[in-house]
C-alpha cells in the first residue's frame, strides 16, 4: 500500500526502546534499524530478551521509553489491520485447538483483511500464492493437527505470508524442526526475501543457522544489543564465549566459508581412554569444587584420607570418587594411611587442596612427599602456613620441604587447571 | 498466480456440505413448531381453536416454543463463544460460574422483586450478577499476575459456581413458602413465559447478542489460535475478547433468568454443532443458535408428554434424552471438531 508508509524509511527501527513486563524491565535502551529488504537475525542466549524484543516490535508489548517504528510509522499508532498488513509473525509453534484444515488456517491470515464475508479474488490469490510458496497447497484439505511439525510451521508461514506483509518476523519458529524441515523453511524465507523483497527478522538461538542465512546478526544479552554487524564481525570466539558464558570456538565451514561456532565438547570426545589420575588431599569442604572441576577436565580423581561425614567425603561419595575413609573425628590411623599410600602409588599426581592441617591429618602431607619421591608431580595450594593448626608448625615445615622437592604452588582453580594443562596438554590426557 | 487451470480451487472446506446441513437444520424448525403446538399435557393434537380454552392452550404452547427456541439458542451460543475464547472444550456458562452468578441474581430478583425495572428486572439483575461473577472468576484465576490460564479459570469458575449455589440455597431456606416455591420452580427449569413482556425482552436481548456474536465470528475464528496470534493477524484481541465474553454472559444470564437452571445445552450442543459444521464460527454461531433452540424445544415437548398430565422439568430431559444421542454423535465425529 504505497503512500501509507514513509518512503525509504527503515522496515523496523528501535530508538532507545525500554520495555518489559509488570515490575520487570527486560529491554534497556535498545537502538537499531533494519532496512527494507534485509535478512537480519536476532541471536542471544535463552532469556536474553529476544522474544520480548519481537513482542515489542509487533506492538504486542508497549515500550515504556523510546519508540518502535515500522516503515516509518510508530507501531502503537497503527490500526490493527494496518499493522497486520505490514508485519507477519510466525510463532514458535502454532497451536490450533479446533480442527481447522490447513486451507482454513491459511485463510485466517486473510480473514480480517476484507469485510465480514467480503473476501475477493485478490484475497484468494494471495492465499493460494502463499500456500504454493510454502508448498502446503496439496495438503489444504488436511486437518492442521495431523501434519508433521515441519508442515505445521510451513502452514504458519503461509498464514503470515497470506497477510502480504512487508516484514516477516519469526520467533524461534524453526528451533524444534529436524534439519531437513528447518532447511526447507529457511529456503522459503530466503526466496521470499530475494524475490518479493520481504524483510525478514529471524529470532534464533541457533548461531550457525543464523550466520548461514542472515546478512546481519544482532546479538542480545541482558536486554541490550551487544553487537550488530555482519556474521564475520559477530562470530568472534571471545565475544560469543563471554555472552554465552562457556568456551566456544569459531571456525570456517570449508564449503560455504560461513563462520561456524562450536563448543569444546568435541575435545572431550577426542580424549584417549587412558586418563590421568589425580589424588586429591582435602577435607572440610576444600575439595568439593576440585572434585567437580577436575572430573570435568577429564581427570580420574581419587581422594583420602578423609573422615567419614566430612563434607568432602560426602561429595566424593556423591560423585563416585574412590576415597579412603577414617572414622569421624579421629586422627588418621595406620591402616587408612597404608590404603591411601597405595592409592597414591597408582595416581599420576597429587593435588593438595587449601585444607586446614592439624595433628589428625598431618600424615596426609606425607602422602604427597611419597608421591614426589616416586617422581610424580605435586600441586600444593598456597598459604598453607595460615592453615597450619599443628602445635609445632610442623605442617608449614613439611610444606616448605615439599616445595623444595619440586611441589608447585597454586592459587585458585583457574591457575591449577592451567598448571595441569601445562603438565599434561589436553590431547595427551 | 492461479492454482490449477483457471478454476479456483475450493479453499474453504465443506461449504456446500455445510449449506445442505444448514438447510436441514432450518427445515427442522417449522416441524418442531408444529410438534410443540400438537403436544401438551392436556392431550395430543391441535386443540379446538374456536373455544376460549383452546385458544389459550395454543397461546401457551406457542409461548413455550418461542421461549424454548430463545433460551436454547442463548445457552448454546454462549457455550460456543466461551469455548472459542478459552480455547477449551470444557468451557461453558455453568463451568465458568456465569450461570451460577446469573442464578443468584435471578433468585434475589424473584425474592426481592424486580423493582423499577419491570419485566426487564429479572434479566438485568441476572446479567449484573453474571458479569460480577465473571470478573470474580477472572480475578481469582489471575491472582499470580498476568493472563490467567484456562485451567485456573475453570477451577475458579467451578468454585465460584459452588459458592453461588450455596448462597441460593441459603436464600431459599430463609424465604417464605411462596418465595421458596417460586425460586425452586424456576430453578428446576421452566420455559413457560410469565408474560409477553418477558418474551419480548428475551427476544431483543438474545437475538441482539447472538447477531452481534455472529458479526464477530471471523474474529472468533482468529482468536481460537490464541490472543497473541490474533494480535498478529490484525485483531484488537483484547477488545474482541472482552466484548464477546460480555455478550456470551448476557446470553447466559438472559437464558437463566427466563428458563431457570437448564444444564447440558450450553456444553453439548456447541460440540455437536462443531462436529457437524466444523470449527468455522461463521457457520458455527448460527448453527449453534438454531441447534440449541431446536434441541430445547424438542426436549420441552418430551417433558410435557412423557408423564402427562404431569410435566417433568425440561432440564431433566435435556440430560437424559440428549446425553446418549450426543455421545453417539460425538464419538463418531469429534475429530472434526477438536484436536486432541
Residue A3 in any domain: the answer is no
Spatial contact of B228 and A60, defined as CB atoms under 8 Å apart: yes
Residue A4 in any domain: the answer is no
Residue A6 in any domain: the answer is no
Q: Exposure of B316 by Cβ count < 10 A (0-12 exposed, 13-18 middle, 19+ buried)?
A: middle
What does the pLDDT average to over B179-208?
82
pLDDT score at A174: 83
pLDDT score at A68: 95
Q: Do A98 and B215 touch (CB under 8 A)?
A: no
Q: Exposure of B115 by Cβ count < 10 A (0-12 exposed, 13-18 middle, 19+ buried)?
A: exposed
pLDDT score at A13: 94
Q: How confident is the model at residue A266 (pLDDT cuts 50, 70, 90)?
A: low
What does the pLDDT average to over A74-94?
91
pLDDT score at A246: 78
What's the CATH code of the domain at A393?
3.40.50.720
One domain, residues A22 and A121: yes
Spatial contact of B187 and B260, defined as CB atoms under 8 Å apart: yes
pLDDT above 90: residue A121: no
Q: Kindly list the residues from chain A whose CB atom is less than 8 angstroms away from the CB atom of residue B231.
A: 58-60, 80
Residues A290, A295: Cα–Cα separation, whole Å: 8
In the listed set A263, A283, A302, which residue is the last one of a domain according to the structure?
A263
Q: Which helix (H) or strand (E) holds B66?
A: helix B52-86
Q: What is the DSSP letter of A47?
A: T
Residue A250 in any domain: the answer is yes
Is A249 near chain B, with CB under 8 Å? no
ipTM: 0.81
Domain total of chain A: 2
One domain, residues A240 and A300: no
The string of pLDDT tens digits covering residues A211-230 is: 888 999 999 999 999 999 99
Cell 536474553 sits on residue: A48
Is B138 near chain A, with CB under 8 Å? no
Nine-digit cell at A289? 569444587
pLDDT above 60: residue A9: yes
The string of pLDDT tens digits covering residues B25-68 is: 888 888 887 787 777 666 677 777 777 777 788 888 888 889 99
One domain, residues A276 and A351: yes
In the listed set A216, A245, A263, which residue is the last one of a domain according to the structure?
A263
Q: Hey, what long-range contacts does B212-216 have (CB within 8 A, 24 or more apart)?
A: B212/B247, B213/B77, B213/B81, B213/B244, B213/B247, B213/B248, B213/B251, B213/B285, B214/B282, B214/B285, B214/B286, B215/A116, B216/B240, B216/B243, B216/B244, B216/B247
One domain, residues A165 and A183: yes
Pick the residue with more confidence: A37 or B14? A37
SS3 at position A310: coil
DSSP-assigned states of every residue in B300-322:
HHHHHHTTTTSPPPHHHHHHHHH
Q: Do A125 and B338 touch (CB under 8 A)?
A: no
The string of pLDDT tens digits covering residues A301-320 is: 999 899 988 889 988 888 88
One domain, residues A81 and A215: yes
Q: Kindly list the residues from chain B whose CB atom is less than 8 angstroms away from the CB atom of residue A131.
A: 3
CA pseudo-torsion sign B135, B141, B145, B147: negative
Residues B60, B39: Cα–Cα separation, whole Å: 11
CA pseudo-torsion sign B96, B102, B105, B107: negative
Spatial contact of A15 and A31, defined as CB atoms under 8 Å apart: yes
Residue A284 in any domain: the answer is yes
pLDDT score at B3: 35
SS3 at position A380: strand
Residues B130, A25: Cα–Cα separation, whole Å: 37
One domain, residues A82 and A147: yes
Range of weakest confidence among A88-102, B95-109, B314-328: B314-328
The string of pLDDT tens digits covering residues A101-110 is: 898 899 888 8
Residue A31 in any domain: the answer is yes
Q: State the nearest Cα–Cα gap between A52 and chain B, in angstroms.
A: 13
One domain, residues A203 and A244: yes
Percent of chain A whose pLDDT exceeds 90: 40
Cell 568472534 sits on residue: A236
Q: Kindly list the residues from chain A whose CB atom is less than 8 angstroms away from the CB atom of residue B282.
A: 116-117
Is B282 near chain A, with CB under 8 Å? yes
One domain, residues A250 and A328: no
The string of pLDDT tens digits covering residues A378-398 is: 999 998 888 899 888 888 888
Nine-digit cell at A150? 515441519
Closest B-chain CA to A84: B234
Q: Which domains does chain B have, with CATH numbers?
A: 15-336 (1.10.3470.10)
One domain, residues A161 and A27: yes
Output the average pLDDT for chain B: 82
One domain, residues A58 and A132: yes
**Cβ-proximal residues to B196 (8 Å cutoff; 6+ apart), any chain:** none
What's the CATH code of the domain at A20?
3.40.50.300
Is A129 near chain B, with CB under 8 Å? yes
One domain, residues A49 and A148: yes
Best A22, A97, A116 residue to mutate vs chain B (most B CBs within 10 Å):
A97
Question: Which among A99, A108, A163 has CB closest to B339?
Answer: A99
Residues A286, A352: Cα–Cα separation, whole Å: 10
SS3 at position B251: helix
Host domain of residue A337:
272-428
Q: Do B231 and A59 touch (CB under 8 A)?
A: yes
Is B30 near chain A, with CB under 8 Å? no
In the listed set A213, A228, A263, which residue is the last one of a domain according to the structure?
A263
Pick the residue with more confidence: B85 or A246? B85
Question: What does pTM read for this prediction?
Answer: 0.74
Q: Kindly list the residues from chain A whose CB atom is less than 8 angstroms away from the CB atom of residue B145.
A: 22
One domain, residues A192 and A104: yes
Residue A5 in any domain: the answer is no
pLDDT score at B262: 85
Q: How confident is the model at residue A42 (pLDDT cuts 50, 70, 90)?
A: very high
pLDDT score at B284: 92
Residue A59 in any domain: the answer is yes
Percent of chain B whose pLDDT exceeds 70: 86
Q: What is the 3-state secondary structure (H, E, C) of A134-188?
A: CCCHHHCCCEHHHCCHHHHHHHHHHHHHHCCCCEEEEECCCCCCCHHHHHHHHHH
The string of pLDDT tens digits covering residues B209-230 is: 999 999 999 899 999 998 899 9
Nine-digit cell at B102? 446469573
Amino acid at each position: 500500500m504505497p503512500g501509507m508508509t514513509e518512503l525509504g524509511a527503515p522496515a523496523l527501527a528501535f530508538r532507545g526502546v525500554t520495555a518489559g513486563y509488570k515490575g520487570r524491565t527486560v529491554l534497556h535502551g535498545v537502538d537499531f534499524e533494519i532496512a527494507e529488504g534485509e535478512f537480519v537475525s536476532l541471536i542471544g542466549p535463552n532469556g536474553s530478551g529476544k522474544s520480548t524484543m519481537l513482542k515489542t516490535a509487533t506492538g504486542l508489548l508497549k515500550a515504556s521509553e523510546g519508540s518502535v517504528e515500522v516503515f516509518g510509522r510508530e507501531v502503537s499508532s497503527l490500526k490493527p489491520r494496518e499493522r497486520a498488513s505490514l508485519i507477519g509473525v510466525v510463532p514458535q509453534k502454532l497451536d490450533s485447538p479446533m480442527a481447522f484444515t490447513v486451507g482454513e488456517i491459511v485463510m485466517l491470515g486473510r480473514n480480517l483483511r476484507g469485510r465480514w464475508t467480503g473476501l475477493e479474488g485478490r484475497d484468494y490469490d494471495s492465499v493460494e500464492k502463499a500456500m504454493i510458496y510454502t508448498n502446503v497447497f496439496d495438503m489444504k484439505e488436511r486437518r492442521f493437527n495431523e501434519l508433521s511439525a515441519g508442515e505445521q510451521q510451513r502452514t504458519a508461514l503461509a498464514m503470515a505470508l497470506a497477510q502480504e506483509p512487508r516484514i516477516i518476523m519469526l520467533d524461534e519458529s524453526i528451533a524444534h524442526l529436524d534439519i531437513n524441515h528447518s532447511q526447507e523453511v529457511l529456503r522459503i524465507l530466503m526466496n521470499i526475501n530475494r524475490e518479493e523483497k520481504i524483510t525478514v527478522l529471524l529470532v534464533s538461538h541457533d548461531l550457525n543457522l543464523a550466520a548461514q542465512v542472515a546478512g546481519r546478526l544482532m546479538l542480545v544479552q541482558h536486554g541490550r544489543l551487544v553487537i550488530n554487524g555482519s556474521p564475520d564481525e559477530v562470530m568472534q570466539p571471545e565475544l560469543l564465549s563471554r555472552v554465552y558464558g562457556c568456551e566456544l570456538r569459531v571456525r570456517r565451514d570449508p564449503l560455504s566459508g560461513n563462520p561456524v561456532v562450536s563448543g569444546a565438547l568435541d575435545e572431550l570426545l577426542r580424549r584417549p581412554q587412558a586418563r590421568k589420575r589425580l589424588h586429591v588431599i582435602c577435607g572440610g569442604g576444600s575439595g568439593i569444587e576440585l572434585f567437580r572441576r577436575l572430573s570435568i577436565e577429564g581427570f580420574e580423581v581419587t581422594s583420602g584420607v578423609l573422615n567419614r561425614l566430612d563434607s568432602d567425603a560426602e561429595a566424593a561419595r556423591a560423585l563416585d570418587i574412590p576415597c579412603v575413609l577414617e572414622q569421624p573425628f579421629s586422627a588418621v590411623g595406620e591402616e587408612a594411611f597404608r590404603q591411601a599410600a597405595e592409592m597414591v602409588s597408582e595416581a599420576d599426581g597429587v593435588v593438595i587442596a587449601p585444607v586446614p592441617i592439624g595433628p589428625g591429618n598431618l600424615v596426609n602431607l606425607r602422602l604427597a612427599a611419597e608421591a614426589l619421591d616416586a617422581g610424580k608431580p605435586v600441586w600444593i595450594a598456597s598459604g598453607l602456613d595460615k592453615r597450619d593448626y599443628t602445635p609445632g608448625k610442623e605442617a608449614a615445615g613439611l610444606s616448605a620441604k615439599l616445595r623444595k622437592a619440586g611441589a608447585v604452588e597454586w592459587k585458585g582453580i583457574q591457575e591449577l587447571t592451567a598448571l595441569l594443562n601445562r603438565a599434561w596438554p589436553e590431547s595427551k590426557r | 498466480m492461479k492454482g490449477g487451470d483457471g478454476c479456483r480451487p475450493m479453499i474453504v472446506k465443506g461449504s456446500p456440505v455445510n449449506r445442505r446441513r444448514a438447510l436441514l437444520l432450518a427445515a427442522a424448525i417449522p416441524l418442531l413448531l408444529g410438534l410443540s403446538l400438537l403436544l401438551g399435557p392436556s392431550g395430543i393434537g391441535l386443540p379446538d381453536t374456536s373455544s376460549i380454552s383452546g385458544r389459550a392452550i395454543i397461546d401457551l404452547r406457542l409461548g413455550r416454543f418461542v421461549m424454548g427456541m430463545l433460551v436454547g439458542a442463548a445457552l448454546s451460543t454462549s457455550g460456543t463463544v466461551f469455548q472459542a475464547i478459552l480455547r477449551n472444550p470444557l468451557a461453558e456458562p455453568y463451568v465458568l460460574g456465569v450461570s451460577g452468578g446469573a442464578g443468584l441474581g435471578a433468585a434475589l430478583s424473584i425474592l426481592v422483586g424486580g423493582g423499577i425495572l419491570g419485566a426487564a428486572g429479572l434479566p438485568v439483575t441476572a446479567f449484573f450478577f453474571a458479569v460480577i461473577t465473571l470478573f470474580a472468576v477472572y480475578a481469582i484465576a489471575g491472582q499470580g499476575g498476568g493472563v490467567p490460564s484456562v485451567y485456573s479459570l475453570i477451577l475458579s469458575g467451578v468454585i465460584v459456581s459452588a459458592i453461588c449455589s450455596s448462597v441460593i440455597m441459603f436464600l431459599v431456606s430463609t424465604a417464605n413458602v411462596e418465595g421458596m416455591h417460586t425460586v425452586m420452580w424456576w430453578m428446576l427449569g421452566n420455559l413457560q413465559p410469565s408474560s409477553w413482556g418477558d418474551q419480548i425482552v428475551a427476544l431483543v436481548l438474545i437475538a441482539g447478542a447472538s447477531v452481534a456474536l455472529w458479526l464477530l465470528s471471523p474474529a472468533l475464528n482468529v482468536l481460537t489460535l490464541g490472543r497473541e496470534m490474533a494480535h498478529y493477524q490484525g485483531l484488537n484481541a483484547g477488545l474482541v475478547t472482552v466484548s464477546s465474553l460480555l455478550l456470551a454472559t448476557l446470553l447466559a444470564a438472559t437464558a437463566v433468568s427466563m428458563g431457570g437452571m437448564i444444564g447440558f445445552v450450553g456444553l453439548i450442543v456447541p460440540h455437536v454443532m462443531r462436529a457437524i459444521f466444523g470449527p468455522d464460527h461463521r457457520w458455527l454461531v448460527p448453527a449453534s443458535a438454531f441447534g440449541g433452540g431446536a434441541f430445547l424445544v424438542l426436549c420441552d415437548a418430551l417433558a410435557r408428554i412423557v408423564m402427562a398430565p404431569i410435566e417433568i422439568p425440561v432440564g431433566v430431559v435435556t440430560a437424559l434424552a440428549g446425553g446418549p444421542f450426543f455421545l453417539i454423535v460425538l464419538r463418531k465425529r469429534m475429530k472434526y471438531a477438536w484436536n486432541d
